[in-house]
């Protein structure tokens, strides 16, 4: 189980890194929110699964953390996107940068 747990920890680190790269590379704030939220959520869930495979006695606490993240990340990103839209920031269309 340690090997599989290590793989999930590495996968989670990779997704988190890709989410950070998406924050740098995306052209506008709306794309950055999406890249950050989706990749980092998947990365964190993979990390939690890897930790659960290493420490099975922590599973109830890890499930609570996963549930909290799954409920708050989409709501937080949606609120941020709505605030940016209401403040007048337009999404980038096409090849504009």
Which of these, 31, 20, 23, 19, lies nearest to 94 by C-alpha position?
A: 31
Residue 93: how many CB atoms within 10 A of its CB? 8
Give the pLDDT confidence score for residue 1 in this predicted structure: 75
Give the pLDDT confidence score for residue 36 in this predicted structure: 87
Give the pLDDT confidence score for residue 95 in this predicted structure: 63
Give the pLDDT confidence score for residue 92 in this predicted structure: 83
For the chain of 97 residues, list the mean pLDDT of each consecutive stretch of 10: 93 94 91 90 96 96 96 93 93 70
**How many angstroms separate the Cα of 77 from the Cα of each of 37, 47, 94?**
7, 21, 22
Give the pLDDT confidence score for residue 94 in this predicted structure: 67
Burial class, 92, CB count within 10 angstroms (exposed 0-12 / middle 13-18 / buried 19+): middle
């Amino acid at each position: 189980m340690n090997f599989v747990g290590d793989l999930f920890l590495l996968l989670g680190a990779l997704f988190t890194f890709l989410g950070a790269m998406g924050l740098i590379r995306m052209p506008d704030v709306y794309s950055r929110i999406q890249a950050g939220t989706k990749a980092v959520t998947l990365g964190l869930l993979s990390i939690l699964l890897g930790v659960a495979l290493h420490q099975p006695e922590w599973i109830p606490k890890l499930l609570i953390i996963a549930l909290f993240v799954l409920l708050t990340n989409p709501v937080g990103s949606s609120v941020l996107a709505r605030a940016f839209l209401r403040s007048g920031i337009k999404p980038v269309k096409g090849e504009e940068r």
